[in-house]
């Protein structure tokens, strides 16, 4: 099912928080260690949360939703603060495991566990009940549409701008040739044959990166009640079909499924923020 969702965009100030203690021993040790109090971000402000060991999580305030959305897809570096043994396995000899590339081979269930870990980390430092979670499909589309009826996350023009990461002509000339001429976006050439560093994956007018391409993103909604699959949105670096790139296109995957093209982003939302 495709859904239309109209929202109002807003600009935001930027501040930085360091609410996560650094710990070389890992995340578990940090959870039990007393930490000083830090002020929460005020609504309307965007900023960063330190996860430790120099790793940060950037958040963008979305006025239409009244909460924060991850500025980028969750990276391997961020996810390894939670699961130190995580590896995003290479694909066709191309690296997917860079610290600044999106974490893949992460199931819907594992993405939720990561959100729960983040929520435990802010306990006592944020208003009661606020939590990290996956966005709903409607919330995801709000961020992708930016308050208008745009067909694609970048706008309505075709082909996509070259800073959005899809299956473009770059795959025809890579050292390991991946694609054929009839299975790429003609006139589109980005710098990356596979996933891009999250800050190089195309930004919309809200300042949110990677809302189209790079990797599919888990949403919290159920796609099929019969099969129990979960919604994924946004398309990925391996997509070239126009319909898959649209802001309202929804696909599906089993909640315990993983592969090289599905990742996720988080939202930081109040307890009464809808969505099943």
- Evaluate whether residue 4 is within a structural domain: no
Q: Are 181 and 174 in contact (CB under 8 A)?
A: no
Residue 172 has a pLDDT of: 86
- Evaluate whether residue 153 is within a structural domain: yes
pLDDT tens digits for 136-166?
999 999 999 999 999 999 999 999 999 999 9
Residue 170 in this model has a pLDDT that exceeds 60? yes
**3-class secondary-structure state, position 4:** coil
Mean pLDDT of 191-195: 95
Q: Please provide the average confidence, as pLDDT, over all residues in the chain.
A: 86
- Evaluate whether residue 7 is within a structural domain: no
Which residue is it, tokens 């500025």? 71
- Evaluate whether residue 129 is within a structural domain: yes
Domain assignment of residue 221, given as a range: 13-269
Q: Beta strand pairing status for 216-224 and 229-233?
A: antiparallel
Domains identified in the chain, total number: 1
pTM above 0.75, yes or no: yes
Mean pLDDT of 114-143: 93
Least confident piece of the model among 36-50, 63-77, 95-109, 195-209: 36-50
Q: How many CA atoms lie within 13 A of 148 on its CB side?
A: 11
- Evaluate whether residue 181 is within a structural domain: yes
Residue 40 has a pLDDT of: 61
Residue 209 in this model has a pLDDT that exceeds 60? yes
Task: List the beta bridge partners of residue 168.
Answer: 185
Integer Cα distance of 52 and 19 in angstroms? 9
Q: For position 118, which CATH number holds? A: 3.90.1580.10
Residue 36 in this model has a pLDDT that exceeds 90? no
- Evaluate whether residue 259 is within a structural domain: yes
Mean pLDDT of 67-93: 97
Residue 27 in this model has a pLDDT that exceeds 80? no
């Amino acid at each position: 099912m495709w859904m239309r969702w109209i929202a109002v965009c807003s600009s935001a100030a930027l501040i930085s928080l360091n609410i996560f203690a650094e710990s070389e021993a890992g995340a578990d040790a940090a959870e039990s260690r007393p930490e000083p109090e830090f002020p929460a971000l005020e609504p309307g402000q965007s900023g960063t949360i330190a996860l430790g060991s120099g790793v940060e999580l950037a958040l963008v305030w979305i006025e239409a939703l009244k909460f924060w959305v991850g500025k980028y897809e969750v990276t391997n570096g961020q996810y390894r603060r939670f699961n130190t043994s995580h590896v995003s396995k290479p694909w066709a000899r191309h690296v997917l495991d860079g610290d600044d590339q999106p974490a893949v081979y992460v199931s819907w269930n594992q993405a939720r566990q990561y959100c729960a870990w983040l929520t435990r980390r802010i306990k006592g430092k944020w208003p009661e009940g606020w939590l990290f979670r996956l966005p709903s499909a409607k919330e995801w589309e709000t961020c992708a549409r930016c308050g208008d009826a745009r067909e694609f996350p970048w706008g309505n023009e075709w082909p996509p701008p070259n800073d959005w990461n899809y299956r473009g002509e770059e795959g025809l000339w890579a050292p390991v040739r991946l694609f054929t001429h009839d299975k790429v976006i003609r006139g589109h050439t980005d710098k990356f044959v596979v996933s891009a560093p999250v800050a190089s994956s195309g930004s919309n007018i809200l300042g949110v990166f990677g809302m189209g391409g790079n990797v599919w993103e888990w949403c919290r909604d159920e796609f099929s009640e019969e099969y129990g699959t979960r919604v994924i949105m946004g398309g990925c670096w391996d997509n070239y079909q126009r319909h898959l790139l649209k802001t309202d296109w929804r696909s599906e995957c089993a909640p315990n499924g993983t592969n090289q093209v599905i990742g996720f982003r988080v939202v930081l939302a109040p307890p009464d923020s809808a969505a099943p």
